Chain A
Amino acid sequence: MSECKVVDARNTFCPGPLMELIRHMKKASVGDMFELLSTDDGSSNDVPEWVHKAKHEMVSSEKVAGVWHIRVRKAR
């Protein structure tokens, strides 16, 4: 499995976490995995929506101690 890059966007507000993730994913290679950390609850809906629209792959999404951990794989 390829490495998982952590994008720490805690304590930023919409659309900060999503834009941070997109910025990192744009520079990455197909197959790379990312874990976005966000304290913005909106991210839990917005990020999967973008992942679906941009045709990437959702791996998992869970809230641990107030922080969303959203794992995404770059698919194209």
Chain B
Amino acid sequence: MANKIHIVCVSGTREKLQMAAMIASVAAATGDQVSVFLSMNALPYFVKGNGAKAPAEGELGALLEQKGVPPFKHLFQQAAELGDAKLLPCSMALDLMKITKDDLDPELGPATGLTRFLSDAEGGQILTF
């Protein structure tokens, strides 16, 4: 049976989003069932037309700017396209931002509450960034 990996993205910093996206894309492309719960400061990057850059926390974050590093949004897209990863916007964060699923990038799945996410994640591992 496929391994199940649940990722929670909370932070809006570049390093954390990058690491989460790397794990999501590689795991999903390898056949794991991946779901990514996007909340707090991680969610605004997935609003349609938001081209804002995630701020670097430190030295490695600055190095990620260099040419050849796949941007985290691209990796999340690949996770969804190549590996059927689910990218799930947190319904509470959507409410706070006064937006709906339609305001988000098309690769994002349905608005999801914590109860649903936790029940799907039961027995599996949850990684938080």
Binding site for B on A (CB under 8 A): 11-16, 18-19, 22-23, 26, 50, 53-54
Contacts and interface: CB of A to CB of B under 8 A. Distances in A.
Interface in B82-120: 82
B40 interface: no
A23 B78 contact: yes
B27 to A, nearest CB: 10
Contacts, number: 38
Given A16-B69, A19-B70, A50-B26, 16 more contacts: A12-B68, A13-B68, A13-B70, A14-B22, A15-B26, A16-B68, A18-B26, A19-B25, A19-B75, A22-B29, A22-B82, A23-B82, A50-B29, A50-B30, A54-B30, A54-B31
Candidate in A13, A18, A53 with the most chain B CB atoms within 10 angstroms: A13
In terms of DSSP, what is the predominant structure of the interface of chain A?
A: helix
B82 A16 contact: no
A11 B75 CA distance: 17
A10 to B, nearest CB: 9
A12 B70 contact: yes
A46 B68 CA distance: 17
Contacts of B26: 15, 18-19, 50
